[in-house]
Structures are given as C-alpha cells and as structure tokens.
Chains A and B, each alone.
Chain A
Amino acid sequence: MDTATLIEAAIKVHIVLGFILLGVPLIVWMERKVIGHMQDRIGPERVGPFGLLQTIADGIKLFMKEDIIPSQADKVVFVLAPALTVITALVATAVIPWGDTVQLFGRTIGLHITDVNIALLFVLGTTSMGVYGIVLGGWASNSKYPLLGGLRSSAQMISYELAQGIALVGVIMMTGTLSLAEIGRAQAHMWFIVPQFLGFLIYLTAGIAETNRAPFDLPEAETELVAGFHTEFSSMKFAFYFLGEYANMMVVSGVAITVFLGAWNGPLLPGPVWFLIKLTAFLFFYVWLRATFPRLRYDQLMAFGWKVLLPLSLLNLVGTAVVLAIRGG
C-alpha cells in the first residue's frame, strides 16, 4: 500500500463523512419544512434564510444542554450505545459508490471509499450491528419504557433484516456480483427496478422498518412508550441517536439507489450529481411517508414482516431464479 493510495483513501473518507455530517442538518431542515407545508404550516423560517440555520441552532442548543446519566443506569453501556448507532451508520457508507471512476493526476480513482467484493454483505452486516445501539440504549437506561422500546426495535429490526437481505439477492443473481460498484455499472442501460420491481418494493418497506421511520417507528411510539429507547437520553447523546437515524436513512437510500435505481447513471449530468438528485428524491419520499401514513400496531408490524414480506421476498427469489434458468443466464 503506497502513500498515494493512503492519501486518496483519507481524502475520500473526509469527503463522505463531511457530506453526511453536513447533510443531516439539511435533511432535518427539509423534513420539518416539507411536513410543515404538508400540514398547512410554514415550518421553520426564523433562523437564517428560509430557516436553513434552524437545525444548526438546535444542534448548538443540544450541545449546551446538561448531560444527564440516570443514577441507576449502566454507565459504560449508556455512553457506548448512542456512539454505536452513529459508528455503524457511518461505517456502512464506506462501500456505497457515488460515481464511476475518474482520471485525476494520472490515477484512476473510483468514486467510492472502497470497492470490496462483498460490499452488499458489508452493508447488511453493519446495519445488523446497528441494532445494538438501540437495544443497549434501552437496556442501559434501566427504566421501563426504554427497555420495552429497545426490545421492540430489536425484534422489528431482526425480522425485517431477513426480507431486506433476500430482496437484494434477486439483483445479485442477475449481476453475479456483490460489489456495489459493479452492480452500478451493470445498470448503464436499464435500472434494476424494472426487472426487480417486487424486490425494490420489499427492500423499500424493510429499509424503512430498519431505520425505525414512520409508519414503522414503533420503538419510539410516543403514545405508548414516551420516547422509546431514547427516553432517558439528553444533550449530545440524544443528538447522536438523531444523527445515527438520519445517517442510516442515507445509507438505506444510497443502497436502494445503487442497487435498484440505476446508481449514478443518468443522461447529461455527471454521476455524482445524479446520485445526489436521486438521494434527495429518496429522502423526500421518506419525509412524505411520515406525513402520510399512521403508525402500525405492533402485532400488525410483526405479522406483516413475517407473513407478507418474507414470503414475497422468497417468491421473488424463486421467480428470478426460474427466469434466469430459462434464459440460460
């Protein structure tokens, strides 16, 4: 490993992390603004132009707040849990490509931090580790509501992980690779959402459940669980959970775009711009869902995951295999 490769990797890591950490306040702003307008309100507008700096102000406020650790809490785990949520979300971004290769200073540079031949498994692995942040946060608080919220979420995330993973297998079978960059390149002519529409729908649903977003935001259902697993968290620890949730949304969207929506491919504009456009559209869709759908009941959620999504994803798997076998793929 020569020095140039190291420098290249370091620069790319900084670009991606900077993009995500700056992107999260923007998404939060977009969410508040969009939901505001959807509910016939204006949304934030006081701080900065169009209220753009509102999230920054909120961030500073959270930073200044007193950091409370409940006296009966498990202190080590209590501190560790929010960090885990953010770390797992950020690590997953390492394999998501935001463009094809470019020539720069006589080097061929791939527009992704790294392209490993198990990229999809890597993403699934890190998201499955993300469960710990929530379940441990719930447990370490040593309080009723967080514990129930944490247990709910671990059950929910484990259930939907299965369907999520199997939904991706259809595309893996069509391309014959687990590398996200390769999958992106394979969609130059046709997006995989066309042959794998069912797979896309399953991934989308499971992805929203994985990120604990409405209508699957049961772990923090405020009518029954106060604020779920993060009830006892304050100040920056709460902000970390917030950050982790939004970074996870970006990861799920990034994977959905790369696997089903043609990755960085698009006419005229360069790859990264297309990726950014698709990412924004996808995140808007997330917000739209939250403004539209009521929350599911817990038994409905589990029944839906195990009795509808999982069989459907298996059906999709078998169907893809049969078609591929007939076409001699």
Chain B
Amino acid sequence: MSLEPILFAMFGGTAIGCAVGVVFHRNPVHCALLLVGVLLSLSGLFVLLHAPFVAALQIIVYAGAIMVLFLFVVMLLNVKGESPLLTPGAAKGFGILFALIVFIELLGTVLPRSGDSSRLPDAVLPEGFGSPAAIGRILYTVWLFPFEITSILLLVAVVGAVVLAKRKFA
C-alpha cells in the first residue's frame, strides 16, 4: 500500500480541523496559531503534489513571517476574545451566503470528474516539475509581466506604509 493516501488524509484532515478551529475559537492568539497549522498542512499537501518549492515558500513567507507579525499585533493589542462567536445580523447572512456559493462552485468542479476518476490516466509530470529551476524559468519567461507588476505593487505598498508611519498627526 502506498504511503500517499495516508499522508494526504493526515495533512488534509489537519488542515480542515485547524480551519474549523480558526473560525470557532474565541482566543485570537489560538486562532492565529490554528491558522499556522492550516498553512503547515497545506505545505504538506504541496509536497504531495510534487511542488516542494511552493511548499517551502509557503512555510517561509506565510507561516514564518506574515503569521509572526499577525501574532505580534494580536499580542500587543491584547485583544480580549469575549466578543460573540458569530457576528449577528446582516454580516452573518452574507457570510453564510458567500460560503454556500463557494461551496457549490467547488462541488461543481469536483463532482463531474469524481465519477470516472478510476479511468483517468496517471498524470505524467514533465522533467524537473516543481523544482526551483523550473519555477524560476517559467516565472521569468511566461509570467514575466505579472511578476514584475507584482513587485511594483509591493513597492508601492512599502512606500505607502512608510509614508503613513512617518506622517505627523497634528
């Protein structure tokens, strides 16, 4: 028996469990930690999908940097987790509505294929798929324009953050 289905169930199950925890936990720090758990399990799934480079970036960028800053802010603000579990009223309705729409859309993409999945041939991965070299090549040839646009966008965000932080509020 192959190890992959077991690992998939492990990572997938952890991801879902942690994601549910993020929504239902009251303590914001616990929520942030569970979100880290989701990110880590996703990175495990990326490895199973033969994308180790993406998995490593997921950990370094999201779990290792962004979430630490998240925690930083939550701890400094000392947010008390005493607000009601779900926001009442219109916001709640919209949330459920959007969740339903996303769920149905996902179902639509998954269902038609699951029927004859046994007859699908195993996907043949091109040579060096998911390796840093392959991703680098495709990033700097096919996706060069979006890549550069993203970097400009990030630069604008950085400049904006500095301007906001330096402004003197009279």
Q: Could you list which residues of chain A lie within 8 angstroms of chain B, going by C-beta atoms? A: 1, 74, 76-77, 116-118, 121-122, 124-126, 128-129, 131-132, 135-136, 139, 147, 150-151, 154-155, 158, 161, 165, 176, 178
What per-residue 1/0 map shows which CB atoms of B118-155 lie under 8 Å from chain A? 00000000000001110000000000000000000000
Within 8 A of A (CB), among B62-82: 63-65, 68-69, 71-72, 75-76
Is there an interface contact between A128 and B75, defined as CB atoms closer than 8 Å?
Answer: no
- 20 additional A-B residue pairs with CB within 8 Å, beyond A77-B29, A126-B59, A151-B76: A1-B3, A74-B29, A116-B52, A121-B60, A128-B60, A128-B63, A128-B68, A129-B59, A129-B63, A135-B71, A135-B75, A139-B29, A139-B71, A147-B75, A150-B75, A151-B72, A154-B72, A158-B68, A165-B60, A176-B133
> Is B48 positioned at the interface, with any CB of A under 8 Å from its CB?
no
Q: Which of B33, B56, B75 has the most CB of A within 10 A?
A: B56
> Is B100 positioned at the interface, with any CB of A under 8 Å from its CB?
no
Question: Would you call the interface of chain A mostly helix, strand, loop, or mixed?
Answer: helix
Q: Could you list which residues of chain B lie within 8 angstroms of chain A, going by C-beta atoms? A: 3, 27, 29-30, 33, 36, 52-53, 55-57, 59-60, 63-65, 68-69, 71-72, 75-76, 131-133
Expressed in whole angstroms, the minimum distance between the Cβ of A102 and any Cβ of chain B is: 26
Which residues from A are CB-within-8-Å of B76?
A: 151
Within the complex, which residue of B27, B29, B57, B132 is in contact with A117, where a contact is CB–CB below 8 Å? B132
Please measure, in the bound complex, the distance between the C-alpha atom of A156 and the C-alpha atom of B63, giving whole angstroms.
Answer: 17
Which residues from A are CB-within-8-Å of B55?
A: 118
Within the complex, which residue of B33, B63, B69 is in contact with A77, where a contact is CB–CB below 8 Å? B33
Expressed in whole angstroms, the minimum distance between the Cβ of B137 and any Cβ of chain A is: 12
Expressed in whole angstroms, the minimum distance between the Cβ of B32 and any Cβ of chain A is: 10
Expressed in whole angstroms, the minimum distance between the Cβ of B53 and any Cβ of chain A is: 6
Is there an interface contact between B36 and A118, defined as CB atoms closer than 8 Å?
Answer: no
Could you list 14 examples of A-B contacts with CB < 8 Å? A74-B27, A117-B132, A118-B132, A121-B56, A121-B60, A124-B56, A125-B56, A125-B59, A132-B68, A135-B71, A139-B29, A139-B75, A151-B76, A165-B60
Please measure, in the bound complex, the distance between the C-alpha atom of A58 and the C-alpha atom of B67, giving whole angstroms.
Answer: 36
Closest-by-CB residue of B relative to A131 is B68
Please measure, in the bound complex, the distance between the C-alpha atom of A222 and the C-alpha atom of B75, giving whole angstroms.
Answer: 22
Is there an interface contact between B60 and A117, defined as CB atoms closer than 8 Å?
Answer: no
Please measure, in the bound complex, the distance between the C-alpha atom of A178 and the C-alpha atom of B57, giving whole angstroms.
Answer: 13
Within the complex, which residue of A1, A125, A135 is in contact with B60, where a contact is CB–CB below 8 Å? A125
Q: Which of B3, B27, B75 has the most CB of A within 10 A?
A: B75
Please measure, in the bound complex, the distance between the C-alpha atom of A88 and the C-alpha atom of B131, giving whole angstroms.
Answer: 24
Closest-by-CB residue of A relative to B75 is A139
Please measure, in the bound complex, the distance between the C-alpha atom of A230 and the C-alpha atom of B4, giving whole angstroms.
Answer: 39
Which residues from B are CB-within-8-Å of A118?
A: 52-53, 55-56, 132
Is there an interface contact between B75 and A124, defined as CB atoms closer than 8 Å?
Answer: no
Please measure, in the bound complex, the distance between the C-alpha atom of A279 and the C-alpha atom of B114, giving whole angstroms.
Answer: 53
Expressed in whole angstroms, the minimum distance between the Cβ of A94 and any Cβ of chain B is: 13
Please measure, in the bound complex, the distance between the C-alpha atom of A76 and the C-alpha atom of B59, giving whole angstroms.
Answer: 23
Closest-by-CB residue of B relative to A80 is B33
Is there an interface contact between B75 and A178, defined as CB atoms closer than 8 Å?
Answer: no
Which residues from B are CB-within-8-Å of A122?
A: 56
Which residues from A are CB-within-8-Å of B63?
A: 125, 128-129
Closest-by-CB residue of B relative to A147 is B75
Please measure, in the bound complex, the distance between the C-alpha atom of A124 and the C-alpha atom of B75, giving whole angstroms.
Answer: 25
Please measure, in the bound complex, the distance between the C-alpha atom of A90 and the C-alpha atom of B65, giving whole angstroms.
Answer: 20
Q: Which of B52, B64, B133 has the most CB of A within 10 A?
A: B64
Closest-by-CB residue of B relative to A128 is B64
Q: Which of B52, B53, B69, B131 has the most CB of A within 10 A?
A: B52
Please measure, in the bound complex, the distance between the C-alpha atom of A76 and the C-alpha atom of B34, giving whole angstroms.
Answer: 13
Please measure, in the bound complex, the distance between the C-alpha atom of A125 and the C-alpha atom of B62, giving whole angstroms.
Answer: 10
Within the complex, which residue of B30, B52, B59, B71 is in contact with A128, where a contact is CB–CB below 8 Å? B59
Expressed in whole angstroms, the minimum distance between the Cβ of B46 and any Cβ of chain A is: 11
Which residues from A are CB-within-8-Å of B68?
A: 128, 131-132, 135, 154, 158
